Amino acid sequence: MNSSRPVTIKDIARRFRCSPSTVSRALNDHPAINEDTRKNIQEYAKEVGYQRNEVSLSLLNKKTASLGVVVPTISNYYETAVIEGLHTVLQPMGYTLNICVTNESYLLEKESLSKLLSNRTEGIFLSVSQETYDAGYYEHLENVIQRKTPLIFIDREYEDFETSRATVDDYHGAFAAVEHLISIGYKQIAHLKGPNGLTVSEQRFKGYINCLKKHNMPIREDLILNTNFNVESAILPTKRLLELASPPDAIFGVNDQVAIGAMRVAKDKGLRIPQDIGLVGFDNSPISAYTFPSLTTVHRPGRKIGMEASRLFLNQLNGSGDFAPESIVLPSELVIRESSLRI
Amino acid sequence: MNSSRPVTIKDIARRFRCSPSTVSRALNDHPAINEDTRKNIQEYAKEVGYQRNEVSLSLLNKKTASLGVVVPTISNYYETAVIEGLHTVLQPMGYTLNICVTNESYLLEKESLSKLLSNRTEGIFLSVSQETYDAGYYEHLENVIQRKTPLIFIDREYEDFETSRATVDDYHGAFAAVEHLISIGYKQIAHLKGPNGLTVSEQRFKGYINCLKKHNMPIREDLILNTNFNVESAILPTKRLLELASPPDAIFGVNDQVAIGAMRVAKDKGLRIPQDIGLVGFDNSPISAYTFPSLTTVHRPGRKIGMEASRLFLNQLNGSGDFAPESIVLPSELVIRESSLRI
DNA sequence: GAAATTTTTTCAAACGTTTGCATTCAATAT
DNA sequence: ATATTGAATGCAAACGTTTGAAAAAATTTC
């Protein structure tokens, strides 16, 4: 039947026995086009549902108006908040976001980046996968840099790389969280740490350690256990903590998920929160305000990070040749709720 | 300095004093190319970081290998699960996903679709925005249909539209949830409903109503209140429910978020769950297993929906001309946990 | 050594659009 | 009547790649 091939400018030109140039100009309201011609062509175009082929334009102008977002996962609150922030700024400017999920795999990350470059994506927002980080690979990034495609790190980053980045001040957030626990009077503060090596994990860990040091509190290795950012991964470590001969009287979780897992285990054991054990998370995810008791946490402005990252991208894009990478570090903010408010 | 314009086939051709065709064939391991030529060209290409311009290929082959995903939001567990499912199937096949967030706005939805069509996206996965649904607009969809771009509905849909769709059996899930509450012995079951009009809301509501009817239980209008799918929106309605002269002894929330909001309010009031009040949610989000008490809920296989939707898309793409839309309805499954297990 | 064959390379068109420049045609000025 | 203007349109190239067919070069055959 009708083969449903999209209508092109040439089709319209044939119909009006004129040249493609005329049609193009008519559709773009070029002044040097007869008023009637313009009207007729525009009407007809609308009628047949003409929609211009942006692919050809991309080729012509070397502008694709598409951006890549490469993240390890999209099932966490923070990641989606960042993406929403990117969207907020960039969608209205006509940019399209290509989301690539790497599932913490180096290979997928490498392939995603290569694909994005092949597609002539105009900028890339990257939060490196854990595997990439562990292995310390970065040749796949050299490629991006060489192409001078703006590369913006969000969340997880390589510290010694000459690019812009927008991150949250994890260190001081963690520091504040632990200091808050200390100020309340908790003495044995455990830390459910994130995976080793990742900046996020290490910065929060460092905040935890340095705060304890500052207050001359002993650092007990047995109160520091690893998790994997999700609820499940907090269950066993928390059980181990609470079965210690000298168990902690407070736990600082690397994020809200982990803290909620810990909360669950503590309650199962019959502990009262915050009387018997204090809890603090990190992220200020929506749910944290509605757990029982509500969770003290550190606000991590994901949307803002997304918006700032957009800004960094735009700066780099419009910047003159001698571009200097910018680093934005947004402050995190302690949000005190019930889970730590022992009186 | 070096203008960093990406290396093209023509550049390489110039370098070897041969034609672009030869370079193209060499790079693609075409048999009719001299072994030496091939090797030299491939080596050089690697050296200078040649990466073929997929945009030009898209234009030539009328294939973009990119798909659109248009959703109201990405900050819910379910949506991200669906997207992950789409990714799982389609990323390995070389497809790129363009995520468009409509923020429940008709205008944004319309613009997103138009943009996707202009970009010659090869398929669109759509969960319509609330505004679109309320207004009953659908001309923007006609456009997609007319172009014969495969359109797959996920989650929220128009029922009288001739397209494929992958959805979850909300009705029976809700029915099972309420029947479970009844079987436990709850008598006054409230429902925190989703926004009116959306299929998801209405199907779950219908399941609730029909189950009550089946068991000859009275339907009390005052036990049915609206929410907006998120935690906050459940707070006030729940308070109102619990302040009734004859308050409910169980609440069926339209999703986990809402149920968790209700849980929080109930606990604040000093009610014991499930003894004083039973609670059931919907979605089986990761957190629901770790609330205290853990939340009885209905599993909604988001990942699977994404994967099924991918399948539907591929079917339609490879299908012969006489394409018949398919409807996949995945079963939902009651997950019984503590919040409803009054003994 | 020429013809036939095989291998290798080039040509040209195509995808859809825009745009500087040239061209056409009609109207106005001289 | 002719030159001059101005408006409207057409031409052709460009973006980067692939591909069937033609051409050229190398090799084999007699």
Task: Give the mean pLDDT of B214-220.
Answer: 97
Give strand ranges (E) for B73-229: 96-101, 123-126, 151-154, 164-168, 189-193, 224-226
- Report CA-CA distances (Å) from B285 to A116, B83, B107, B337: 32, 15, 30, 13
Identify which of B148, B261, B290 has the shortest CB distance to residue A264.
B290
Which positions in strand D are less than 7 Å from the protein's CB atoms?
7-12, 14-20
How many residues can be counted in chain A?
343
Residue-wise pLDDT tens digits, B88-137: 999 999 999 999 999 999 999 999 999 999 999 999 999 999 888 888 88
Q: How many Å does it take to go from CA A17 to C1' C18?
A: 19
Domains assigned to chain B:
9-52 (no CATH), 63-168+302-330 (3.40.50.2300), 170-300+334-340 (3.40.50.2300)
pLDDT of B324 strictly over 90 = no
For helices A199-214 and A170-184, give the axis angle rounded to 10 degrees. 40
pLDDT of A324 strictly over 70 = yes
Residues of B within 8 A of A74 (CB-CB) are 74, 80, 83-84
pLDDT band at A227 (very low <50, low <70, confident <90, very high): very high
Q: How many Å does it take to go from CA A11 to C1' C21?
A: 25
Task: Give the mean pLDDT of B69-73.
Answer: 94
3-state SS of chain A: helix, strand, coil percent to 5?
45, 15, 40
Q: Coil, helix or strand for A145? A: helix
Residues of B within 8 A of A75 (CB-CB) are 77, 80-81, 84, 286
pLDDT of B29 strictly over 90 = yes
- Report CA-CA distances (Å) from B297 to A87, A174, A235, B259, B291: 32, 34, 21, 9, 12
- Residue A2: the pLDDT is 44
pLDDT of B160 strictly over 80 = no
Scanning every strand, the nucleotide with its C1' closest to B28's CA turns out to be D18
Task: Give the mean pLDDT of B283-287.
Answer: 94
* Residue A26 CA to its chain's centroid (Å): 43
| Whether A29 CB is under 7 Å from strand C | no
Instruction: Give the single-character DSSP code of B283.
Output: B
How many residues can be counted in chain B?
343
- The chain-wide mean pLDDT, for chain A, equals 93
Q: How many Å does it take to go from CA B24 to C1' C22?
A: 35
- Residue B322: the pLDDT is 66
* CA angle, B264 then A282 then A123, to 5°: 120
pLDDT of A320 strictly over 80 = no
* Residue B300 CA to its chain's centroid (Å): 11
- Listed in sequence order, the DSSP H helices in B9-76 are 9-16, 20-27, 35-47, 54-61
Residue-wise pLDDT tens digits, A248-263: 999 999 999 999 999 9
Nearest Cα to B333, choosing from B263, B283, B260?
A: B283
- Residue B320: the pLDDT is 63
A77/chain B closest Cα distance in angstroms: 7
Contact A147 B49 (CB under 8 A): yes
List the beta bridge partners of residue A297: A335
Contact predicate B272/B126, CB 8 Å: no
Contacts (Cβ under 8 Å, ≥6 apart) of B271: B242, B277
Which two three-digit tokens encode residue A23? 């049609």
Which of B46, B93, B96, B265 should we substitute to test contact with A (largest number of A Cβ atoms within 10 Å)? Answer: B96
Task: Give the mean pLDDT of B319-335.
Answer: 86
Q: How many Cβ pairs within 8 Å bridge chains A and B?
A: 153
- Residue A137: the pLDDT is 81
A303/chain B closest Cα distance in angstroms: 11
Residue B41, Cβ neighbours under 10 Å: how many? 25
- Listed in sequence order, the DSSP H helices in B215-301 are 232-242, 256-268
**Phi–psi pair at A226, nearest 5 degrees:** -90, 145
Contact A119 B84 (CB under 8 A): no
More confident residue, A46 or B5: A46
- Residues lying close to strand C (Cβ under 7 A), chosen from 39-58 of chain A, are 50, 52-53, 56-57
pLDDT of B1 strictly over 50 = no
pLDDT band at A1 (very low <50, low <70, confident <90, very high): very low
pLDDT band at B247 (very low <50, low <70, confident <90, very high): very high
